[in-house]
Amino acid sequence: MSKPVFVETLELAGESGTTFNGMLCGRAMWKDGIAIYAKQGAKAFEEWLNTQGVENINNVNKALEAAYFRYDKIDVKEPALA
C-alpha cells in the first residue's frame, strides 16, 4: 500500500466514526527511502529519514487523531508504568 492510500484509509476510518484504536505501519512509511539508500548511500538515506521520513510519520499521527485510546474502548484504567 502506498503512503497516500495508507493515510487516506486512516482518515476515512476516523471520518466514518469507527472506533479504531491503532494501526500498523511499516513499508508504506519507509519504502521510498530504500532506493535512496541503494543509489546514494547511508548519508542520503539519513537525510531522507530526517525530512520525508519524519513528514510521513507526522501525516500518520495527524490521521490518528481520530483514533481511540484502547483502554477507553473497554472501560479499563490505564495500567501504571513500571
Q: What is the reported pLDDT for 62?
A: 85
Q: How far is residue 56's CA from residue 53's CA, in Å, rounded to a whole number?
A: 5
Indicate whether 82 pLDDT > 60: no
Q: Encode pLDDT of 12-58 as tens digits.
A: 888 888 777 666 677 878 889 999 999 999 999 999 999 999 999 89
3-state secondary structure of 39: helix
Q: Is the pTM of this model over 0.75?
A: no
Per-domain residue ranges of the chain: 3-67
Q: Which three cell numbers stand for residue 40?
A: 546514494
